[in-house]
């Protein structure tokens, strides 16, 4: 016996009236880490919306909100219950013995005469229609919500009720679950849902009843602003003009329920300390916005955001100013202590700082960086420049000193400022400005959004440092796999690519990989990634261009721009398809005559000779055409001849000598015209691309 | 708040102890083996294990050899005082209780800015970790709040809340002084008067005079003794008499010697992981035996 498809009965009960209900779900937690809120809301909004739709409870408008202590989902336009439905239940065949029919009817709670005989598509059977009453929304939600909430994906969850207990981002302490004014009853981790929410920890009531309608107003009365947009506005509404840092702003929006900003100040004497250090303390340690003067200098002020409704006595401002003073004093203490020994005197100390067990100390790394810088300076990319002697001297001096700041107190305290501190110290200790700048910049770019080093010496140093890490790690087998990349080698390689291309440096990147094929492949992958993801070239264009060589990345860039420009022209893709075909033909023929020259006498007049002549003309033309684009256009112009050749000529000629000569022609065609890009890598829609000759 | 009414260092300590005493905590005295944090004390590390509820509070002088500054730095100390509170299992109103303790020492939280910012805690030498927050009061980190999840590599049966107050910071905040050395310990006696000498002398020892080969020898002696004891547990009967607490003291000795060697720059990055692993293996073994012994 089988149940037929469910059919909702829409006529009963007045569906439209049912849709007027509103759902409120608030998961009250201990302070949720600020970075977790948006992901949790994305999940919860989607999950609640999905749950309501799956159960045919309307297509409600769902919105989500969060503060550090609550995740809130509200849905408008929810049905009070599922619509009724009916299903057809099939019983025994129409010719079944009466006892079987009576048995079926009894089991289903029907009288035999209520059954009807119908075809289920295959046979005539006894059957009847069962009415199924739609379930109340409250019941459905009460069943589903606990699991739905607990499935919220968080990167690191905890348990708190005991071993084996439920896991969530932080302990759940209250739950509001209301369908209009009716509680949706369920329990999570021993906390029963109800209609009581909780206010700001200090300014609001611990528990107070809410309804769907008054929820936001009640929260506001209890010093909780539910809307993140409104909290953001409050933070922005401070008379002091500060440098808005959006990441910090988001963090503060998600750390507060009732944000109130204030402006604090610090002693202007601290402005003697480097701006970088002051900013780091304010931004990362204290979560303050830095304030700048009209001319872009740091002002002796900061903007902090409290989770309170004000600071009439100035106690909070006073406390924060005191903390900042202590932190700045620390920094000053470190700065002054560090000045007692120059960077140049600290280089020796690097013998005691391990870079990596198998790769030795930072002293050894320094030596290797120096050698690499030296080597790069001798290459034409650098040596051909007019100021090459100066660049070389500065880069080498910077290489000697660049890691010495690792032994300073300030870098031990603010590791994020390594390099930057070294640059500042170099400047303070009278090193040439170019040397200081090179050290300052040598970790750049720290991300793909970051800028590259500002000077040639800095670029060379940055490349040498990263290259040394890559070469060393690959040599001793510390090669990234999957998501594991503890030495951030991908970022290092990506940084080199970015510096070479954007710094217009024609250093031979592949050659610098030291003949290590694994490193070459790793580097090539970063080159592909850079041109695809950062520069937006098509993946097949990138593959095609890289197949023709990638040692000079500026050349790669030029060729890519040309391919991209020529690609939309009508001859290009068909020609690319023909090249693919040629490649397949040569492969299938196991063509080995790579050194053969063409024998003029074997070339048949007509399409074959026409192609040959066009080939010769094009080959010579390419030598004089000034740029890749016009050369590519010229090659694309071969298309009609190539097409005609394939139309009319049988490559696989009966005479082996003719056959070989034809294959040689194709081989030359491919070899001569693949120096800009390997066209056979271009993905085309032309039928040739699939055909195997 | 004005200077005159601010509680002294020792008044703050005794008010906090009083507060937690009223909430059912066993008030313990500091553990008498040197530790880097109150968490390492058996009152926390071992008591966190197993199904028995427990509440305790104690001050623990915590030694961090690398943080020593010869008594010159206003905020950094070789040895600072922690008030360690363990509530096992965690009551549902634990944060409200914690906030009550701040009010008990005279902080009117309606006039101050209190934030709980994510800060998860991990002690790899003890195979222990938890999630929680650093508690920020007007921009100052005053407390580390942790829900323990594992100790000695074991999932905890009851989840304790660990509340660790930084007593010097808290007092400096209340007394409105910029240097911990200016804290009033008791009326007429400054923190400097009580503690400056040990800050200076231990800094000299840890950074200049500690003999590295001797420290390594000591490390190996304590490690060997701990290992010998742990290995003999399986054979020993009756189990209840087995001195796991004494064994654990040797593990703590190893941990402190490691910290001293580290401050001395005697441990390279790779050695570091290996030595931490040696200490962790001992801690994990003691934790497992402790659970069995208590069962």
SS3 A298: strand
Residue among A165, A307, A333 whose CB faces B73 most closely? A333
Predicted local distance difference test score (pLDDT) of residue A692: 38
CA distances from A199 to A187, A193, A228, A488 (A): 21, 17, 16, 44
Distance from CA of A311 to the nearest CA of B (A): 7
Q: Is the pLDDT confidence value at A693 over 70? A: no
Q: Which of A353-357, B31-35, B245-249 shows the lowest per-residue confidence on average (mean pLDDT)?
A: A353-357
* Among B6, B107, B115, B270, the residue to mutate for chain A (most A Cβ within 10 A): B115
Q: Is the pLDDT confidence value at A447 over 80? A: yes
Topology of domain B210-294, CATH: Methane Monooxygenase Hydroxylase; Chain G, domain 1 (1.20.58)
Q: What is the pLDDT of residues A55-91, one digit of tens each?
A: 999 888 999 999 999 999 999 999 999 999 888 999 8
Give the C-alpha separation, A508 to A554, whole Å: 10
Band the pLDDT of A458: cuts 50, 70, 90.
Answer: very high
Predicted local distance difference test score (pLDDT) of residue A661: 86
Interface touch B109/A202, C-beta < 8 Å: yes
Interface touch B72/A333, C-beta < 8 Å: yes
Q: Is the pLDDT confidence value at B1 over 60? A: no
Is B210-294 in the same CATH topology as B3-204?
A: no
Interface touch A256/B268, C-beta < 8 Å: no
What is the percentage of chain A residues whose pLDDT exceeds 90?
60
Band the pLDDT of A674: cuts 50, 70, 90.
Answer: confident
Band the pLDDT of A576: cuts 50, 70, 90.
Answer: confident
Burial of residue A449 (CB within 10 Å: 0-12, 13-18, 19+) is exposed
Q: Say if CB A637 and CB A571 are below 8 A apart.
A: yes
Nearest residue of A to residue B114 by CA position? Answer: A307
Apex CA A512: angle with CA A507 and CA A518, to 5°? 135
What is the percentage of chain B residues whose pLDDT exceeds 90?
87
Q: Which residues of B touch A356 (CB under 8 A)?
A: 269-270
Q: Which residues of B touch A308 (CB under 8 A)?
A: 110, 112-113
Q: Which residues of B touch A256 (CB under 8 A)?
A: 115
Q: Which residues of B touch A158 (CB under 8 A)?
A: 130-131, 147, 149, 159
Q: Is the pLDDT confidence value at A295 over 60? A: yes
Distance from CA of A178 to the nearest CA of B (A): 23
Interface touch A201/B74, C-beta < 8 Å: no
Residue among B113, B157, B159 whose CB faces A160 most closely? B159
pLDDT, average across residues A550-570: 92
Q: What is the pLDDT of residues B73-114, one digit of tens each?
A: 888 899 999 999 999 999 999 999 999 999 999 999 999 999
Band the pLDDT of B268: cuts 50, 70, 90.
Answer: low
Predicted local distance difference test score (pLDDT) of residue A240: 80
* Among B72, B90, B114, B138, the residue to mutate for chain A (most A Cβ within 10 A): B138
Q: Give whichever of A479-493, A622-636, B16-30 has the largest mean pLDDT.
A: B16-30
Interface touch A329/B74, C-beta < 8 Å: yes
A445 preceded by cis ω (within 30°)?
A: yes
Q: Which residues of A touch B178 (CB under 8 A)?
A: 322, 325-326, 329
Interface touch B268/A201, C-beta < 8 Å: no
Predicted local distance difference test score (pLDDT) of residue B3: 43
Interface touch A320/B138, C-beta < 8 Å: yes
Residue among B76, B157, B269 whose CB faces A163 most closely? B157
Nearest residue of B to residue A322 by CA position? Answer: B178
Interface touch A357/B158, C-beta < 8 Å: no
Give the C-alpha separation, A450 to A386, whole Å: 28
Nearest residue of B to residue A167 by CA position? Answer: B149
Residue among A288, A307, A326 whose CB faces B178 most closely? A326
Q: Say if CB B129 and CB B150 are below 8 A apart.
A: yes
Interface touch A325/B178, C-beta < 8 Å: yes
Q: Which residues of A touch B118 (CB under 8 A)?
A: 31, 33-35
Residue among A30, A163, A333 whose CB faces B156 most closely? A163
Phi, psi of A273 (to 5 degrees): -70, 155
Interface touch A306/B113, C-beta < 8 Å: yes
Phi, psi of A577 (to 5 degrees): -65, -40
Nearest residue of A to residue B109 by CA position? Answer: A202
Nearest residue of B to residue A329 by CA position? Answer: B74
Domain boundaries, chain B: 3-204, 210-294
Give residues with Cβ within 8 angstroms of A461, minimum separation 6: A369, A373, A395, A398, A399, A402, A438, A439, A441, A442, A453
Q: Which residues of B touch A165 (CB under 8 A)?
A: 159
Interface touch A31/B139, C-beta < 8 Å: no
Buried b (16+ CB within 10 A) or exposed e, B117-144: bbbbbebebbbbbbbbbbbbbbbbbbbb
Spell out which chain B residues touch chain A, with contact meaning CB-CB distance below 8 angstroms. Answer: 1, 72-76, 89-90, 92, 95-96, 99, 109-118, 120, 130-131, 133, 137-140, 147, 149, 155-159, 173, 176, 178, 265, 268-270
Band the pLDDT of A468: cuts 50, 70, 90.
Answer: very high
Nearest residue of A to residue B95 by CA position? Answer: A30
Predicted local distance difference test score (pLDDT) of residue B7: 96
Interface touch A173/B92, C-beta < 8 Å: yes
Residue among B111, B140, B159 whose CB faces A313 most closely? B111
State whether CATH 1.50.10.10 applies to domain B3-204.
Answer: no
Distance from CA of A69 to the nearest CA of B (A): 10
Nearest residue of B to residue A325 by CA position? Answer: B178
Q: Is the pLDDT confidence value at A15 over 70? A: no
Interface touch A206/B270, C-beta < 8 Å: no
Predicted local distance difference test score (pLDDT) of residue B269: 58
Residue among B110, B116, B131 whose CB faces A156 most closely? B131
Instruction: Give the residue from A120, A118, A115 showing the smallest Cα distance to A104.
Output: A115
Interface touch B112/A255, C-beta < 8 Å: no
Q: Say if CB B75 and CB B179 are below 8 A apart.
A: yes
Give residues with Cβ within 8 angstroms of A56, minimum separation 6: A8, A79, A82, A83, A134
Give the C-alpha separation, A278 to A289, whole Å: 11
pLDDT, average across residues B124-153: 95
Predicted local distance difference test score (pLDDT) of residue A1: 42
Interface touch B270/A357, C-beta < 8 Å: yes
Q: CB-side exposure of B55: number of CA atoms within 13 Å?
A: 13
Interface touch A158/B269, C-beta < 8 Å: no
Give the C-alpha separation, B161 to B97, whole Å: 12
Give residues with Cβ within 8 angstroms of A257, minimum separation 6: A67, A68, A69, A200, A223, A224, A225, A231, A307
Residue among A255, A330, A333 whose CB faces B115 most closely? A255
Q: Is the pLDDT confidence value at A680 over 70? A: yes
Per DSSP, helices labelled H in A378-509 are 380-383, 388-401, 409-413, 420-428, 433-441, 456-475, 489-502
Give the C-alpha separation, A575 to A615, whole Å: 13
Q: Is the pLDDT confidence value at A689 over 70? A: no
Q: What is the pLDDT of residues A223-256, one digit of tens each?
A: 999 999 999 999 998 878 787 889 999 999 999 9
Instruction: Give the residue from B105, B98, B64, B112 showing the smallest Cα distance to B260.
Output: B64
Distance from CA of B112 to the nearest CA of A (A): 6
pLDDT, average across residues A21-45: 97
Distance from CA of B42 to the nearest CA of A (A): 21
pLDDT, average across residues A354-363: 85
Chain centroid to Cα B181, Å, comes to 21
Predicted local distance difference test score (pLDDT) of residue A9: 45
Nearest residue of B to residue A164 by CA position? Answer: B157
Q: Is the pLDDT confidence value at B245 over 70? A: yes
Number of Cβ pairs closer than 8 Å across A and B? 113
């Amino acid at each position: 016996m089988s149940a037929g498809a469910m059919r909702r009965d829409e006529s009963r009960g007045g569906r439209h009236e049912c849709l007027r209900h509103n759902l409120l779900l608030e998961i009250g937690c201990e302070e949720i880490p600020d970075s977790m809120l948006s992901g949790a809301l994305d999940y919860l909004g989607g999950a609640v919306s999905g749950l309501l739709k799956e159960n045919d409870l309307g297509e409600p408008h769902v919105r989500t909100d969060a503060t550090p202590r609550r995740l809130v989902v509200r849905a408008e336009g929810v049905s009070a219950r599922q619509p009724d439905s009916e299903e057809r239940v099939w019983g025994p065949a129409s010719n079944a013995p009466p006892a079987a029919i009576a048995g079926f009817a009894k089991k289903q709670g029907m009288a035999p005469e209520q059954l009807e005989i119908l075809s289920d598509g295959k046979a005539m059977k006894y059957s009847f229609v069962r009415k199924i009453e739609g379930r109340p929304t409250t019941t459905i939600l009460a069943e589903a919500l606990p699991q739905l909430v607990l499935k919220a994906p968080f990167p690191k969850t905890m348990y708190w009720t005991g071993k084996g207990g439920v896991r969530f981002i932080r302990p759940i302490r209250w739950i509001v679950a209301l369908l209009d004014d009716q509680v949706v009853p369920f329990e999570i981790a021993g906390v029963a849902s109800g209609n009581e929410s909780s206010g700001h920890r200090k300014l609001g009531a611990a528990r107070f009843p809410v309804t769907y309608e008054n929820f936001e107003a009640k929260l506001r009365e209890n010093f909780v602003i539910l809307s993140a947009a409104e909290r953001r506005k409050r933070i922005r509404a401070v008379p002091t003009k500060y440098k808005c840092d959006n990441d910090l702003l988001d963090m503060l929006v998600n750390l507060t329920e009732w944000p109130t900003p204030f402006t604090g100040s610090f002693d202007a004497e601290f402005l003697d300390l480097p701006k970088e250090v002051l900013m780091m303390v304010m931004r990362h340690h204290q979560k303050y916005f830095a304030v700048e003067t009209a001319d872009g200098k740091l002002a002796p002020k900061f903007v902090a955001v409290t989770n309170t409704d004000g600071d009439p006595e100035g106690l909070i401002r006073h406390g924060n100013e005191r903390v900042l003073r202590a932190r700045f004093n620390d920094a000053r203490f470190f700065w002054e202590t560090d000045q007692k020994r120059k960077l140049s005197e600290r280089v020796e100390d690097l013998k005691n700082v391990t870079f990596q067990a198998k790769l030795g100390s930072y002293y050894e790394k320094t030596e290797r960086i120096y050698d690499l810088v030296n080597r790069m300076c001798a290459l034409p990319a650098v040596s051909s420049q007019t100021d090459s002697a100066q660049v070389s001297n500065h880069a080498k001096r910077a290489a000697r000193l660049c890691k010495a700041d690792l032994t300073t107190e300030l870098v031990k305290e603010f590791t994020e400022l390594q390099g930057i501190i070294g640059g500042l110290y170099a400047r303070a200790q009278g090193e040439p400005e170019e040397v200081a700048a090179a050290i300052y910049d040598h970790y750049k770019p720290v991300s793909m959004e970051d800028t590259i080093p500002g000077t040639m010496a800095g670029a060379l140093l940055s490349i040498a440092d990263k290259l040394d890490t890559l070469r060393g790690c690959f040599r001793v087998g510390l090669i990234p796999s999957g998501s594991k990349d503890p030495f951030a080698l991908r970022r290092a390689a990506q940084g080199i690519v970015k510096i070479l291309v954007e710094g217009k440096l024609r250093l031979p990147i592949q050659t610098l990989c030291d003949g290590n094929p694994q490193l070459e492949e790793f580097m090539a992958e970063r080159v592909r990634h850079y041109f695809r993801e950062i520069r937006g070239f098509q993946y097949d264009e990138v593959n095609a261009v890289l197949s023709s060589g990638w040692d000079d990345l500026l050349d790669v860039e030029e060729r890519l721009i040309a391919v991209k420009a020529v690609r939309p022209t009508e001859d290009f893709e068909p020609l690319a398809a023909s090249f693919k075909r040629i490649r397949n033909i040569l492969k299938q023929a196991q063509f080995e005559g790579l050194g053969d020259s063409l024998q003029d006498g074997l070339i048949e007049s007509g399409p074959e000779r026409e192609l040959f002549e066009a080939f010769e003309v094009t080959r010579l033309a390419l030598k004089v055409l000034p740029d890749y684009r016009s050369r590519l256009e010229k090659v694309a112009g071969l298309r009609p001849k190539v097409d005609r050749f394939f139309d009319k000529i049988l490559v696989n000629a009966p005479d082996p000598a003719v056959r070989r000569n034809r294959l040689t022609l194709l081989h030359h065609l491919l070899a001569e015209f693949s120096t800009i890009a390997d066209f056979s890598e271009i993905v085309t829609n032309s039928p040739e691309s699939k055909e195997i000759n | 708040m004005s200077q005159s009414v601010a509680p002294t260092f020792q008044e703050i300590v005794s008010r906090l102890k009083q507060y937690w005493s009223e909430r059912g905590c066993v008030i313990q005295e500091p553990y008498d083996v040197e530790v880097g944090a109150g968490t390492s004390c058996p009152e926390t590390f071992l008591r966190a294990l197993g199904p028995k509820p427990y509440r305790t509070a104690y001050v623990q002088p915590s030694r961090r050899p690398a943080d020593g500054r010869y008594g010159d730095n206003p905020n950094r100390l070789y040895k600072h005082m922690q008030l360690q509170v363990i509530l096992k299992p965690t009551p549902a109103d634990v944060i409200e209780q914690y906030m009550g303790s701040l009010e008990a020492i005279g902080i009117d939280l309606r006039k101050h800015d209190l934030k709980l910012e994510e800060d998860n805690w991990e002690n790899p030498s003890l195979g222990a970790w938890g999630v929680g927050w650093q508690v920020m009061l007007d921009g100052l980190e005053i407390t580390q709040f942790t829900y323990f999840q594992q100790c000695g590599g074991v999932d905890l049966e009851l989840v304790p809340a660990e509340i660790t107050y930084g007593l010097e910071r808290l007092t400096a905040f209340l007394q409105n002084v910029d240097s911990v050395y200016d804290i009033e310990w008791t009326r007429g006696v400054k923190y400097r008067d009580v503690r400056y000498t040990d800050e200076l002398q231990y800094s000299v020892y840890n950074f200049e005079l500690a003999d590295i080969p001797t420290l390594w020898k000591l490390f190996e002696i304590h490690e060997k003794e701990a290992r010998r004891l742990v290995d003999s547990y399986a054979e020993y009967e009756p189990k209840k008499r087995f001195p796991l607490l004494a064994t654990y003291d040797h593990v703590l000795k190893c941990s402190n010697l490691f910290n001293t060697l580290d401050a001395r720059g005697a441990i390279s990055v790779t050695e570091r992981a290996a030595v931490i692993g040696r200490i962790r293996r001992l801690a994990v073994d003691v934790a497992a035996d402790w659970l069995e012994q208590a069962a």
